[in-house]
Structure 1
Amino acid sequence: MSPAPDTWVFDLDDTLYPPAVGLTDQMNHRIREYLSRELGVDEAGARRAQAQLRAEHGTTLLGLMRTRGVEPEDFFRFEECVDYSALQPDPGLRDALLALPGRRLVLTNGSTTHAARVLAALELADEFDGVFDLQAAGLVPKPHRATYELFLRTYDADPRRCLFFDDLPVNLEEPRALGMGTALMTGGTGEAFEVLAREPLQLRVRDLVGTLTALSQPSAVEPERL
């Protein structure tokens, strides 16, 4: 039996806030504006370039660094044009996070600046014990295995006692292979979460607050109780 989680790991965008907020769409628009200037292409060309860079390198930034020598600081200037006012605090989420036993960490492919702005807008800046961003990962993004291994070493975390929430299935494959519990954010209606597997724990999450509230009791995450 896997031990109960004591390290709660969260992706940032479209996980700690719902996709309907539109912040990810806003960021992608700004990134494509950057690509249009950098590559001298129109919107359609920028979309194709973004998709190709992500497919071949994992993130747009890493692809631009490898193929065009772009500096991270220059690329991340697109964040200065992002309107974070679309994010609204959720007191229920704050309370649910604080009730979790153990550490709460963010693992994101974004920058530290972006993470700080998102958490501040959500009024969650003091509710996390650490943020592991793309630069902390040596600019190697999720879903590369090395990123998760470095994350675990950085926080001296036992993968068997981690539960990682992310909205992209591909980002959960390596954590699960490393022995981490995983929770896929899907949205929708119905029960707050569904148990897909127990060793390690694998959840499909429709309601983050409801799921965290249910899991905040140590006995709730014991396999025989799920």
Structure 2
Amino acid sequence: MLANIDTWVLDLDNTLYPAGSALTEQVTAGILGAISQVYGVDVVGARQIQTELIAQHGTSLRGMMTTRNVDPHDFLSFERRIDYSVLTPDPALAEALSALPGHRYVYTNGSAYHAEQALRQLGLTACFDGVFDILAGDLIPKPYPESFDAFLARFTVDPGRAAMFDDLPVNLEVPRARGMATILVDGADGTPYEEIGPRQWRAGDLAKFLHSLTAPEVSPSTM
């Protein structure tokens, strides 16, 4: 399984740490706060606008840039007010990532600053060879093909020898079309993983799934 993979590409938010974490809550609050300020609505209105922006433009930031000419740096400034100490080290994930052969990258719609802070708190900084953020993608986010192709070019990635991990199915469509193996990290239950299609998996537990890729096989004679 994934024996020919030498490049591992992982989303950050809700993938390298659980969707229900306190950091997720802070990120959501920061985005809704920015929307509320720009559009002059309350939190309920901001949630509705966010849903519409994501549906039409892929991310809240791209939507706000398009509809209200919002400066991306002003929008992303909320990340500087986040308390990243709510994350705790994940040694099991660090061990599983470090055992993977080849190169490992974070591909996020957030900023490099956000990724660096989160990775440091998780104890995963040394596990990755680089970060591709929203600014590196010229503010074009996943799931747009332009963003993905820019990532491939930046790190000279051969899609046929790469695997993409993300918590959103839509963000895996272009990678799959380019020939990458794809893994949906949904954390829905305790199931480590299951195959859901050709070169497609669903991982309920990312660390356990990654560990399964490098764990030595047990010979029948030793069982």
TM-score of the two chains, using structure 2 as the length reference: 0.91
Query: Aligned Cα RMSD in Å?
Result: 1.8
**Off by >6 Å, runs of 4+ in structure 1:** none
What is residue 212 of structure 1 aligned with on the other side?
210
- TM-superposed CA distance for 1:192, in Å, is 1.2
Instruction: Give the secondary-structure state (helix, strand or coil) at the position aligned to 1:46.
Output: helix
- TM-superposed CA distance for 1:190, in Å, is 4.7
- TM-superposed CA distance for 1:188, in Å, is 3.6
What is residue 49 of structure 2 aligned with on the other side?
49
Paired residue total: 217
| Aligned AA (1:204) | R
- TM-superposed CA distance for 1:75, in Å, is 0.6
Give me the identity figure in percent: 49
Does 202-211 or 181-190 show the bigger shift? 181-190
2:18 is the alignment partner of 1:15: no
Q: Which 5+ residue runs of structure 2 have no aligned equivalent?
A: 218-223
**Alignment map for 1:83-122 (pairs within 5 Å):** 83-122=83-122
- TM-superposed CA distance for 1:218, in Å, is 9.5
Instruction: Give the secondary-structure state (helix, strand or coil) at the position aligned to 2:187.
Output: coil
TM-score of the two chains, using structure 1 as the length reference: 0.90
**Contact 2:106/2:128 (<8 A) preserved:** yes
CA distance in 2, matches of 1:31, 1:188: 24
CA distance in 1, matches of 2:97, 2:169: 22
**Contact 1:62/1:139 (<8 A) preserved:** yes
CA distance in 1, matches of 2:30, 2:130: 27
- TM-superposed CA distance for 1:3, in Å, is 6.3
| Aligned AA (1:157) | V
1:191–1:68 CA distance, 2 compared to 1 (3 A): closer
CA distance in 2, matches of 1:155, 1:202: 23
2:24 is the alignment partner of 1:4: no
Instruction: Give the secondary-structure state (helix, strand or coil) at the position aligned to 1:148.
Output: helix
What is residue 125 of structure 2 aligned with on the other side?
125
Q: Which 5+ residue runs of structure 1 have no aligned equivalent?
A: 220-226
